[in-house]
Structures are given as structure tokens and as C-alpha cells.
Chains A and B, each alone.
Chain A
């Protein structure tokens, strides 16, 4: 159902990032003219060492942070110039998954997923947590999609880290987005939970046609899951290649002297 909704569109580039730059108010140049694009169904992974600008890039795409120059196009329309309601509509199309999950701790898993549907709900009733049966049904389906249908009523902060991150993915899915941005989604998880989360993200891309753009700092994970790898170093895009292309020279171009460490 989610898939068919998007099938009608015939835009090949779902996301286009054009010469995106970001200088923080304190003078840090976090991004320098980064350009790339992502197509539907593609699992693109951004790698780079700590401080390279990966999070900044993600946050500038959905405007949690404001870029200094450059442009972001989603489905052919500019995201960069939008404000208020138009920006909210654009954000709805890009589910965002955080390293720290960022669930609302004191409400249930289902209510957290319902947060992903806020754009289309009446503001006041939703603020008082009055949700229609239909909305609840959609949210429940999203929870079932990540294998947590039985945890719907459980308070978010009583779930394990891996379960919380899957609820966060369900929240993103509830937005009925065309792409998912994931900023180090497994950095706070044990290897087993990390695998479940990464498998879920990959199947969303490869089987259901979402574009997934995912930050990782472990090269081996990137190598295992990515269709395409983008490398960032000191705010510049230094690598853009297919999965198989990742040789030691490429890794060194991204990680510099720490290349061997990154491989471990």
C-alpha cells in the first residue's frame, strides 16, 4: 500500500543535494559544497570519521539545521526555501531516525508511532491524545512492520534499545515518507539489535522502494549493507561509489591515517 502510493511518480532522483555548505555561527565549516543524489529504492550510506559532518548533512537536508548555501530538492521541489506548513509537509516525506532514538519516553509505543502522523491530524485534538481509530490502525500496522505489534501498549522507556529504535523506524514509516534519513541508527546498540535494525532499513529500501540515506561510522557495516557509499571528510564529499568499489585507497581517502582503525 505504501509502495503503490509512490509508484505513480516518475522522478528518478528522489533527493538531490546541490552544493550544500554549512558554516556554524562559531565559524566551524562543517560542509563544503556537497552534491549528490539518491534514487528510490537505494540504500545509500554516508561514512566518515567523527566530526566529518555526517550529522550536519542529514540535519541540513530536513532543515533541523539551516544550511549556509546550496540547495536540497526532494521529488524535484526545493526544500531549502520552504517555511512553516510547506516545510512541515516536506519533513513528513523524510522520516528521520536518530542515534538516540528520541522517543517520547512517558507515552506508549503506539502513541510514539502516532507522532509520525501528526501532520495530517487536527492540531488540538491530537495535542490531547485523541486519535481516530483509523490513525491508530495505521500506526499499529507500522509497528507490526518492524515486528513490534505486541508492544503497542508498552511505555516507550521500558523497551530495550533495539526495540526503541524499531519503534522510531515505525514512527518514520507512519509519516508515509518517500525516504528515510538515519543518523547513526545503530551506534547505541549491541551487535544483535544493530543487525535487526540494519536489516529492517535495508528491506525498506530494497523491497519496499524507500530511499534510505544512512550515516554510519563503521566501514564494515557500510560495506555489508550499502548499495552505494558516500564518503565525507572534513565537510567535503570525497567518495561516491558503488558497494564493491570500496578498496583500501578509497577508505584511506575518507579516513586518512585512521583508516586501519575504521576497518576494525
Chain B
């Protein structure tokens, strides 16, 4: 980090230089924050001026539309299914990746680096970007949304699974090796039983996250209840919007309940 040449003894001069640099750094960060507020046009006045419109908008949402309930229910089901299928695909792809990317059991250095790279890459790109790309590639609908959820979940699941594998009690692996077991048998008995509860728990957790994400993905045309929300907003059908928001709220709470109760039972 420091620009001093390694052989030089420390002097009083370099201490005060460091203090000066620290001060300069603080000034720069402060300036950047002020500039950022200006750049995003942060203004309490504008917010206050918009408040009546906001109240008005919420007022126009009431009462929620009952007519669209069947449509919204179907779209909710689609959202739920996108999240389930996307999460399962992600889990199926992440498990083998994680076994290759866990330092303690990785069978080869090349495969280790390749699978680490895939995990890092899919983590680095937001799912919304995947969704935009897939919508462009395969058209509107739940399919591109599901693909986006699957690919973007690999980053998180692959990383968490690999960490769970790295934390196992390695003695059980050695015990299997000492019997002369095949590497696959060693994996199946020395590793898999130790990581199964963690893998199931993390997958449920990701499913929970994917429900939320799939609502957002719908806004770019990738199917589900989010797409419905987008349509109603565009047509200024505010009572429909409220119905949709209520449905989103209920689905998210229900899924959270279900997944946390399953996870509790696993521990």
C-alpha cells in the first residue's frame, strides 16, 4: 500500500504525510457525498409538493377491483411457479458446481477455477439484466423470467453450498477414504449427509427471495404478477393495482411462513 521504499526507516516526516493524506481523503469523500445529493436532485421541497398527488393516487386505488381477482390469482400462481421452477433449476446446477468449487474436496484445480468463475460471474450480474436479455432473446412471458431467476440464483446458491461443503467435518471423508471407497462413494457418504440440511435450508431461502424477484422481473415483461402490475399501471387502472399489491403481499408472507417452518424442522 505505502509508497515508501522498503529499506527506509520510519521518520517523523512520513507520519505527518500520512495524516495529511487521511485528511485529503476525508475531504474528497465529503465532497463526493454533497455532489451525489445534487446529482440525484434530492429535494425535500419536491417531495412535499408531490405528497398531495401521492395521497390522491392512493385514494383512487380504493376500493380494490374484485373483477380482476381471477386474473390476478392466475398471475400469482404463475409467479409462484416461476420461482419454484427457477429455484429448482438453479439448485440442480449449483450442487455439482459447488462440489467442484469447494476447496477441501475439489477434484481438480482447473475445474475449481472454472466453477468459481461461473459462480462469481452469475453473482455479479443482477437478475434484472438477465431478464432483459432473455426477454429480448425469447420474447415476453414467464419463460425468460424463470431463466433469469435460475441463472442469477446460481451465484448465491453455488457460493453458499460451497461454503457449507468447506465447513464439513473432514474426518468422515477420511474415514470413507480409509475403507478404500470410490471417490463417488466418499462423496455420497462422507460429504452429502453432512451438507443436505444446509443445502435444503439455503434453497428454501433462495425460493423466498425469488418470489420477490419474480415480481420485479415481471415489470420488464418476464411474466407473472409483475407483468400484470405493469399493464394495470400503464392503463391507470388503480383499483386493479391495489388488488395486485394485496396479492403480492399475501404471497410473500405465505411463502416466508412456509419456507421458515420447513427450515426450522430441518434444524
Contact = CB atoms under 8 A, between A and B. Distances in A.
Interface of A: 62, 64, 87-92, 94-96, 98, 100, 102-107, 115-116, 118-119, 121, 123-124, 126-128, 168, 171-172, 175
Given A64-B174, A100-B171, A106 B180 contact: no
A105 B180 CA distance: 19
Interface residues of B, number: 21
B175 A98 contact: yes
Interface on chain B toward A: helix, strand, loop, or mixed SS? Answer: helix
Given A98-B171, A103-B172, A104-B190, A91 B177 contact: yes
Contacts of A91: 177-180
Interface of B: 169, 171-172, 174-182, 184-185, 187-190, 193-194, 196
Contact of A126 (B172, B174, B185, B196): B185
14 contacts: A64-B177, A92-B179, A94-B178, A95-B178, A98-B175, A104-B189, A105-B193, A106-B193, A115-B181, A116-B179, A118-B179, A118-B181, A123-B182, A127-B184
A118 B180 contact: yes
Given A89-B180, A91-B180, A115-B175, A127 B185 contact: yes
B175 A119 contact: no
Interface-centre pick from B175, B179, B182 (highest chain A CB count, 10 A)? B179
Given A64-B177, A102-B175, A104-B193, 11 more contacts: A88-B181, A92-B179, A104-B172, A104-B189, A116-B179, A118-B176, A118-B180, A118-B181, A119-B181, A168-B175, A171-B175
Contacts, number: 84
Nearest to A119: B180
Nearest to B197: A106
A130 to B, nearest CB: 11
